[in-house]
Structure 1
Amino acid sequence: MKKTLFFLLAFSGAAVAQRYTTEVFSQVNVNANVSYAQNIDFLTSKFTNPANIAADVTEIKTALALGQPIPAKFFNPADPASDVKVRDLKMDVYSPVGDNATDRPLAIYVHTGNFLPPGINGGINGSKSDSSAIAMCEKLAKRGFVAIAADYRLGWNPLDPNQFVRRAQLLNAVYRSLHDMKELVRVVKADAANLGIDPNRIVMFGEGSGGYVALAFVTLDKWAEVEIPKFINPATSSSFIDSNQVGNIEGLNGLLNLYADNGQSTDIAMCVNMGGALADISWLEAGDAPMIAFHCVRDPFAPFGDGTVVVPTTQDDVVDVSGANTFMVKANALGNNNSFTSQTYNDPITLAARARYGVTYNYIFSAPFDTITVNTAEGLYPVVQPLSASLFTNVGAPWQWWDPAGPIASDTFSAGPPVITYHMAGLAGNPNMSPSYGRTYQDTILGYVTPRLINAMNIVSNEEFALNSRIDLYPNPATKTLVLNISDANLNIESYQVIDATARVVMNGNLINGFNELNVEGLTPGVYFVKVQTNEGESVQRFIKK
């Protein structure tokens, strides 16, 4: 019932945008584990011997310069023949089955995981194969997008007792992940024709730690921004990031970096944050890409307002950041979001978000920090979960779920007594966890995002508006017969589908140019969509069966 409700809500904006606001495709093709990049792996490499490092890097870069594959020893962490290790980064590409469009918008999904592998990060999730990542990419593909869930490099030490060391390592982990996403964007833009995407319409979704990456992607554009006081190493008076070692902001150059410029821009059109934060509010400037944010008001690890990032495994402080309640206000004030804030939205999901603006909630800290007020910022969806009795069991990601019997979920988190599994520990911070619960939140996210995304990226063209006007559909509502009248001789009809409100195809066939009657008497009363494939594109229109 909930899935159907959110499916219908997506049509409250503009019917002509049905392809992108709802699931008009019933099947998704997944091209899994496609290699998109190779780079030095800081999680498995040993950096204790400078001579070995120099020799290994020289061998790797020489092979690349000669157009040869990197030797196998560098990909095997257990092989003692090299100290430096390389990770082959892969992506899963989701696309709608039966779609002939060649200029589809691309959604890149950056997974969560605290920049560490699942289990080591203290949780169950943390890869492109997370249930939340798979489901969101499938939902986007069924709406007509191409979606990509991609690996990125991991590795830092959250257990180091020195806060400055933790901060330096985390900042570098984010920086490397940013480089990986920069490389991914360059690669997919170069391959846009094969992927069937418009390289100028790319949106990056970031979940949890992936949200930090997505926000950094659209805001970090000057070297001076990593030289602000909180990113300065007190022992050296220099930035925690050494560009001579790891490369510049675009992910190019540097001793321990293998990426090369392929001539493609890394600009993207938009970003969507789901539970991440902005490393520093000063990074956000006029002209940055539009952004939308979903953030749990009582998230204990990534602050909703201004606060401190906390290590999930140890609850230690790392660095001060700005959450969605802060950066969305600034993004709107700068005019960065004018492309979608200037439009009118009165759907129930938007109204639910606005109902929380200006509301003061009991907060997760003790007085005098025991309340927080949600700012009024179009594009901000504040997620309100009950206040937990324990700080770190407040819910921060209700859109996540996992298999309780999975290989990590069933592992021992604490030997006890009593024994606590990762699943049991995960439930403490997500007590209502289930596929249906998580999908409901994802439907809310997409119901809010897609109308704004369509406006911000100018996805629906005048030609698409005109195409629907050339195909008449009546009567509406229909009882026995639905007429499709195509009077334009230049419009060649290839096929049609009738799709119900759960995205299931219930009728299909061929049409002729002219007058067509469809027998809909046998359909269950309700809302349906007629998708007509033509030589000029795809038309989707809604009708009601009485």
Structure 2
Amino acid sequence: MKISTLLLSVGLSTAAFAQTPCQSGRYASDVYSTVNLTSDIVYGSNLSFSGATTSLTLDFYEPAADTSVARPLIIWVHGGSFQLGTKTDVDVKELSNRFAKKGYACASINYRLGFFPVDSVNAIKAVLRATQDLKASIRFFYKDRATTNTYKIDTTRIFIGGSSAGAITALHVGYLDKDCEIADYIDATNLAALGGMEGASGNPGYSTKVAGVINLCGALGRYSWMEAGDVPLVSVHGTADGTVKYNRGVVNPGVPIMYLDGSRMLLERSCALNHPHKLYTFLGAPHVPYAGTSAAQIAYMDTTANFVRDFLVHQLGCTNMDLQPANPPAEMAYLYPINYCDGSPVNETCVLGLTENTKEDEMTLYPNPASSQVTIHCESEGAKTIAVIDLSGRTVLTREMNTNGYVLSVHDLNKGTYFVRLLDHNTQKALMKQLVIE
């Protein structure tokens, strides 16, 4: 009976899957019993942190005897603090096999590891190298689809995800999309020397667009990098994670290296933006509790895989019932003692090419330079929003202005050059003036 069911499932035509992709349980159930693995496919190369040329490889998992010519793809990225790990780590290998049995194609990638000295500056460069390599692997499959179509991937349904450092990498590929957002971490000269945001790890000219991000115990540099309209996200994370914090904190794989926003903070941001994001919280669980072969670790893996499965089938337009619903509200209540969905998270809008764009009689700032406060005067009536923007493009302060004049306290801002942007709510006109704080 099992053999007959398998033969029936693999014999379905490509057209049938294109019309009704969830028929026969594909994407929701294990409709394939055997997975084919092709190891060590070269998808690119680049220089390591020490300057050595490094070949970048991936392992490709696909259902045996699959006849579909347009399969969704999940690219998995292993963990290891950007120092260790491999594409055959137990968790990414298990996830690749599980989802290939459901009808997905999966790729588990190696990426450039290592940084020294072990500090925040070099750790950030390691994250950038990893994101460049992940982008090269995405481009690899776009290129394949446009040329030989060896791997039969539907490039409109590419998902990226990972565990720990791999999740950090996937999150940054998914939501870090402007040079000025990382100006506080890497200046323009060093960014260019490292190959820019896209990098030069291979397959130039092809897209890096993805359909969603899978975050397993990861974090993002700043939750404000996630914006309305960004691709959907699914996350799992333990509240007792001492390595990559569930809330906001320093990533500490033995040595404190980076300050990041964990999954709970990302949920807060998504909630305020009405951005699609599902989070499953492992109450009291440590870092990557699903990585291993013990009974407890396997149970965590079952929950993780089921929760991700639910997210993916809905992204693919299926109507299957969830196997692992999100935590019930009563269970989560103590984690959110404030109204975390009030619609007003910290904004750090990234703006390039800041210049003054207003005449003196339209908007004045005095005194300028200022030390503790500055008076803003505008000739237009009605409500306006004041934004103070630093030279990296980050909005560091916002206030609402309902009259022609407003006294703005700048006492807590660092000395330097800023821009004050005034947005008129009635006309939607934005006025900009330079402000020096001394």
Q: 1:136 aligns with which of 66, 76, 95?
A: 95
Tell me, in whole angstroms, the C-alpha distance in 1 between the residues paired with 2:89 and 2:202.
Answer: 27
Deviation of 1:15 after TM superposition, in Å, equals 7.9
- 2:261 aligned with 1:322: yes
Deviation of 1:266 after TM superposition, in Å, equals 0.3
Trace 1:132-211 onto structure 2 (pairs within 5 A).
132-157=91-116, 159=118, 166-192=119-145, 193-211=149-167
Please name the residue that 2:191 is paired with.
243
Tell me, in whole angstroms, the C-alpha distance in 2 between the residues paired with 1:446 and 1:20.
Answer: 12
- 2:176 aligned with 1:220: yes
| Distance change (3 Å), C-alpha of 1:213 and 1:459 | farther
What does the per-residue CA deviation read over 1:126-181, in whole Å, with 9 as the maximum and x for residues that have no partner? 1111111111100010010000101000111364xxxxxx1110000000000000
Q: 2:302 aligns with which of 443, 454, 460?
A: 443
Q: 2:74 aligns with which of 100, 107, 111?
A: 107
Q: 2:283 aligns with which of 374, 381, 384?
A: 384
What does the per-residue CA deviation read over 1:248-292, in whole Å, with 9 as the maximum and x for residues that have no partner? 21224xxxxx5452x321010001111111111121111211101
Deviation of 1:38 after TM superposition, in Å, equals 1.1
In structure 1, give the amino acid aligned to 2:208.
T
Deviation of 1:322 after TM superposition, in Å, equals 0.6
Tell me, in whole angstroms, the C-alpha distance in 2 between the residues paired with 1:260 and 1:32.
Answer: 19
| Distance change (3 Å), C-alpha of 1:436 and 1:190 | farther
Q: Is the 2:91–2:290 Cα contact (8 Å) retained in structure 1?
A: yes
| Distance change (3 Å), C-alpha of 1:97 and 1:110 | same
Q: 1:39 aligns with which of 46, 59, 64?
A: 46
In structure 2, give the amino acid aligned to 1:135.
E
Tell me, in whole angstroms, the C-alpha distance in 1 between the residues paired with 2:37 and 2:266.
Answer: 35
- 2:216 aligned with 1:274: yes
In structure 1, give the amino acid aligned to 2:194.
V
Q: Is the 1:105–1:459 Cα contact (8 Å) retained in structure 2?
A: no
Please name the residue that 2:232 is paired with.
290
Please name the residue that 1:70 is paired with.
none
List alignment gaps of at least 5 residues for structure 2: 1-20, 321-438
Please name the residue that 2:291 is paired with.
400
Q: Secondary structure, in 3 states, of the residue corresponding to 2:311?
A: helix
Q: Is the 1:28–1:97 Cα contact (8 Å) retained in structure 2?
A: yes
What does the per-residue CA deviation read over 1:278-322, in whole Å, with 9 as the maximum and x for residues that have no partner? 111121111211101100111011111111111x23xx3323211
Q: What's the TM-score once normalised by structure 1's chain length? A: 0.52
Q: Is the 2:22–2:318 Cα contact (8 Å) retained in structure 1?
A: no
Q: Secondary structure, in 3 states, of the residue corresponding to 2:307?
A: helix
What does the per-residue CA deviation read over 1:501-542, in whole Å, with 9 as the maximum and x for residues that have no partner? xxxxxxxxxxxxxxxxxxxxxxxxxxxxxxxxxxxxxxxxxx
Tell me, in whole angstroms, the C-alpha distance in 1 between the residues paired with 2:234 and 2:244.
Answer: 16
Q: Secondary structure, in 3 states, of the residue corresponding to 1:20?
A: coil
Tell me, in whole angstroms, the C-alpha distance in 1 between the residues paired with 2:319 and 2:74.
Answer: 16
Tell me, in whole angstroms, the C-alpha distance in 1 between the residues paired with 2:62 and 2:310.
Answer: 20
In structure 2, give the amino acid aligned to 1:183.
A
Tell me, in whole angstroms, the C-alpha distance in 2 between the residues paired with 1:209 and 1:244.
Answer: 23
Deviation of 1:459 after TM superposition, in Å, equals 6.2
- 2:36 aligned with 1:92: no
Q: Is the 2:159–2:213 Cα contact (8 Å) retained in structure 1?
A: yes
Please name the residue that 1:299 is paired with.
241
- 2:28 aligned with 1:21: yes
Tell me, in whole angstroms, the C-alpha distance in 2 between the residues paired with 1:39 and 1:331.
Answer: 34
Deviation of 1:182 after TM superposition, in Å, equals 0.5
In structure 1, give the amino acid aligned to 2:47.
I
How many residue pairs were aligned?
297
Q: Is the 1:270–1:457 Cα contact (8 Å) retained in structure 2?
A: no
Q: Secondary structure, in 3 states, of the residue corresponding to 1:326?
A: helix
Deviation of 1:458 after TM superposition, in Å, equals 3.2
Deviation of 1:32 after TM superposition, in Å, equals 0.6
Q: Is the 2:35–2:97 Cα contact (8 Å) retained in structure 1?
A: yes
Q: 1:332 aligns with which of 261, 271, 280?
A: 271
In structure 2, give the amino acid aligned to 1:40.
L
Q: Secondary structure, in 3 states, of the residue corresponding to 2:181?
A: helix
Q: Is the 1:189–1:199 Cα contact (8 Å) retained in structure 2?
A: yes
Q: Secondary structure, in 3 states, of the residue corresponding to 2:257?
A: strand
> What CA RMSD, in Å, does the superposition of the two structures yield over aligned residues?
2.2
List alignment gaps of at least 5 residues for structure 1: 1-13, 46-83, 118-125, 160-165, 233-237, 253-257, 338-377, 387-394, 402-433, 462-546
Q: Which has the higher contact order (CA 8 A, sep 6+)?
A: 1
Tell me, in whole angstroms, the C-alpha distance in 1 between the residues paired with 2:143 and 2:319.
Answer: 24
Tell me, in whole angstroms, the C-alpha distance in 2 between the residues paired with 1:332 and 1:158.
Answer: 38
Runs (4+) off by over 3 Å: 14-17, 457-461
| Distance change (3 Å), C-alpha of 1:188 and 1:260 | closer
| Distance change (3 Å), C-alpha of 1:300 and 1:141 | same
